[in-house]
A and B are shown apart, each in its own frame.
Chain A
Amino acid sequence: MTAAVGERTVRYLLGELPEAERDVLEEEYFTSETAFDELKAAEEDLIDAYCRGTLAPHRRGAFEARYLETESGRQRLQFARTLAAVAARRPARTAWSGWGAWAAVLAMMALGAGLFASRAQLLRERSAALADQQERLRAEAAREQRLAELAAERDGLRVEVGRLERALATAGLARVASLVLGAGLQRDAAAAPRLVLEPDTEIARLTLRLKTAPHSSYDVIVQSVDGVPLWRRHDVRTQVTGGPALVVFVPAAALRDQHAVVVVRGRDQPPAEAHAEFSFEVRRRAP
C-alpha cells in the first residue's frame, strides 16, 4: 500500500474524504475483493494505532466520533486492545524457523474451514466439559451410594456374626470353653486365670471386662508372652451389660498350651499403645 493510498483510506474511514473521492472508493470496494480486503486491513491498522496511542492527535477526535458511537465499533476496539494485550503477554518469543514459516503458510491456507468451525468447536468443547462434569458427579454419587451400601452391609454382617457366634456357643453345635478376664487381674503366672481346652473344644469364648471404654471399637490381639500374635480380631464393639466388656470367640486351634496375653487397643490408638492387657493360661487336656 502506498502512502497516498493509505492516506486516502484513512481519510475515508474517518469521514474526511471529499464526496467525489469517497464515491469512487466505495465503488472500488463494492466491486473488488482486493480493494475491500485492503480497506478492512487499513481499518485494522487505524484501530491498532488508536489503541497503541500512535494515532495523530488531530485524528483521534474523528476516530472516537466514528468508533465509540456504535456498538460494533466499540466491540472492534475492544478486540484490538485484547489482541494487543495477549500478543504482548506472550510467554516466550520463540525463534520462527523457515519450516515453521512454511507450516504457518499452509495452516493459513487451511484455516478458512478451521476458523469458520470455531464456534462449533467451542460448543463441542463446552458440551464435552459438561459431559465430563456430569460423569464425575455421577461417579461421585455412585461412590457415595456404594460406600453407604458397604457400611450398611458391614453393620449387618457384624450383627449377624455376633448373633451366629452366640447361637453357636449356646446351641451345642460346637464345644466352647469360656473364660472371663476382669480388669485389674494379676498378670503373674501363678495368679493368671486358666482356660481349659478339652480335646473336642473348638472355640474359646473370652469376655474381657474393661474399666472404661472410651473408644468406639477395639482391636483384640491374643499373643504369646513373648509377643508372637496368635489371633486377632478388628473392630470389636463393647457390650455394656454389667459394665463395659468385649466378647471374642477364639478358635481353640489358635491357642497353644502356654501363657497368653490379650492386648486390647482402641481403634484410634497408635500401635505402640494399649487400652488394656489381660493374661491367662491355656491348658489343653490330653485326649
Chain B
Amino acid sequence: MTEVVVAGRVGTRRRHNLSPESFEALLRVLDPDRDRSGQRYEAIRARLQRFFLWRGSPTPEDLADETFDRVCRKIEGGEVIRPAEAERYFLGVARNVLRESWDRVRRHTASHERIARSQAAAKPAADEDDRALLGLRRCLQTLPPETRELVLLYYDADTGEQIEQRRRLAERLGIGVNALRIRLHRLRARLEDCVRAHLGEMT
C-alpha cells in the first residue's frame, strides 16, 4: 500500500502501480494549486467509492483505486483531460471498471457462496456491537454539548413523531427541514468516520 500526501492530507491508495510522477500529473490536471487539487482529489474519491457501493460492488474502495490507476495511466499515455470535465471523465472510467468487475465476479464467484457469506455476516457479533457503542459514545463526547443534543434529538423519536420533531428543530434553528437534514448528514458522516477510526484503533 502506498501512502500519498495530497495537499497536506494523507490519501491511502491500495495496489497502486503508479509512479509518483503520474500521480503528480493527475493532481496538476485537477488544479494547478496544490491545496485545491488535493481537495478535488478527495471529493472525486468519495464519489467513486459511493458510486461503486451504490451500484452494488462488494469492493468499492478497490475499484475506486483501480479507477484512479486507469486515469493516471491515460494521462501518462498522453490523453488530455479537460479540468472542467474531470468528474465526468472519472465517472465514465468508473463505469467501465464496474462492468469489468462484474465480468470477473461472474467468472470467479458462485452466487450461492456470496449469499452464504452475506447471511453469515449479516448480524454483527455482540462484542462488535459493544465496541461500536463505546466508540460512538466517545465520539459524541467530542462534540459541543448543544450539538450532541441536536444529534441525539434528531435521531431519537418514533417514526410517528420524527417528522414533527425534525420540523420543530429546523424551526428553532431558523433553517429549512432539508437544510437541517443535510447538516445532520454531514455531522453523521463525520461521526461515522470517528467511530470507524475508533474501531480500527481498538482492533
Task: Given A26-B51, A118-B142, decide whether A66 and B196 contact each other with a Cβ distance below 8 A.
Answer: no
Chain A contacts for B146, CB-based, 8 A = 100-101, 103-104, 107
Known: A41-B182, A104-B150, A107-B146. A86 touches B88 (CB 8 A): no
Known: A44-B185, A111-B187, A122-B201. A66 touches B121 (CB 8 A): no
Contact partner, B129, options A34, A78, A87, Cβ 8 Å: A78
What size tier do the contact residues of chain B reach? 35 or more
**A101–B173 CB distance below 8 A:** yes
Name the residue of chain B whose CB is nearest to the CB of A76: B192
Q: For chain A, residues 69 to 94, give those with C-beta under 8 angstroms from any C-beta of chain B.
A: 69-76, 78-79, 81-88, 90, 93-94
Q: Kindly state the separation between the CA atoms of A15 and B53 in the bound complex, as whole angstroms.
A: 11
**Nearest chain B residue, comparing its CB with the CB of A48:** B155
Q: Which of A12, A30, A85 has the most CB of B within 10 A?
A: A30
CB neighbors of B among A96-122 (8 A): 96, 98, 100-105, 107-108, 110-112, 114-116, 118-119, 121-122
Contact of B190 among A12, A93, A116 (CB under 8 A): A116
Q: Is A27 an interface residue (CB 8 A)?
A: yes
A166 CB within 8 Å of chain B? no
Q: Is the CB of B153 within 8 A of A96?
A: yes
Which residues of the other chain, A, contact B118 by a CB distance below 8 angstroms?
Answer: 64-65, 68-69
> In the complex, A100 Cα to B132 Cα: how many Å?
28
Q: Do the beta carbons of B149 and A30 come within 8 Å of each other?
A: no
Flag whether A52 is at the interface (Cβ < 8 A): yes
B149 close to A115 (CB less than 8 A): no
Instruction: Tell me if B's interface is mostly helix, strand, loop or mixed.
Output: helix
A36 contacts B by Cβ under 8 Å: yes
Which residues of chain B come closer than 8 Å to A15, judged between CB atoms?
A: 55-56
Task: List A24-62 residues whose CB lies under 8 Å from chain B.
Answer: 26-27, 29-31, 33-34, 36-41, 43-45, 48, 52, 54
Distance A68 CA – B56 CA, assembled complex (angstroms): 10
> Contacts A72-B53, A98-B172, A114-B142 hold; do A78 and B124 have CB atoms under 8 A apart?
yes
B114 touches A108 (CB 8 A): no
Report chain B residues within 8 Å CB of A38: 182
The answer, yes or no, to whether A123 is at the interface (CB within 8 Å) is yes
Minimum Cβ distance to chain B for residue A157 (Å): 52
Residues of B within 8 A of A163 (CB): none
Contact of B159 (CB < 8 Å), options: A31, A54, A75: A54
Q: Quick check: is B32 within 8 A (CB to CB) of the other chain?
A: no
Residue ID in chain B nearest A1 by CB atoms: B178
CA of A45 to CA of B149, assembled, Å: 19
B143 an interface residue at 8 Å Cβ cutoff? yes
Given A38-B182, A40-B189, are A96 and B172 neighbors across the interface (CB < 8 Å)? Answer: yes
CA distance A12 to B53 in the complex (A): 11
Known: A41-B182, A83-B155. A114 touches B87 (CB 8 A): no
Contact between B58 and A30, CB atoms less than 8 A apart: no
- Per-position 1/0 for B174-203, Cβ under 8 A of A: 110010011111111111111111100100
- Determine whether A126 belongs to the interface, using a CB cutoff of 8 Å to chain B: yes
B143 x A111 contact (CB < 8 A)? yes
B149 and A74 contacting across the interface, CB-CB below 8 Å: no
Identify B122's interface contact among A64, A114, A115, CB under 8 A: A64
Judged by a CB distance under 8 angstroms, whether A197 is at the interface is no
User: Does B97 have its Cβ within 8 Å of any Cβ on chain A?
Assistant: no
A126 B201 Cβ-Cβ under 8 A? yes
> What is the CB-to-nearest-CB distance from A198 to chain B, in angstroms, rounded to a whole number?
80
Are B87 and A31 in touch, CB under 8 angstroms?
yes
B156 touches A40 (CB 8 A): no
Q: A245 in the interface, Cβ–Cβ < 8 Å?
A: no
Interface residues, chain B, with chain A CB atoms under 8 Å away: 43, 46-47, 50-51, 53-61, 87-88, 90-91, 114, 118-119, 121-122, 124, 128-129, 132-133, 136-140, 142-144, 146-147, 149-156, 159, 169, 172-175, 178, 181-198, 201
A-B contact pairs, 5 of them (CB 8 A): A30-B91, A84-B155, A112-B190, A115-B143, A122-B197
**Which A residues are within 8 Å of any B CB, using their own CB?**
1, 12-13, 15, 26-27, 29-31, 33-34, 36-41, 43-45, 48, 52, 54, 64-66, 68-76, 78-79, 81-88, 90, 93-94, 96, 98, 100-105, 107-108, 110-112, 114-116, 118-119, 121-123, 125-126
7 further contact pairs, Cβ within 8 A, besides A39-B50, A79-B191, A82-B132: A79-B132, A79-B136, A79-B195, A84-B156, A94-B149, A104-B173, A118-B193
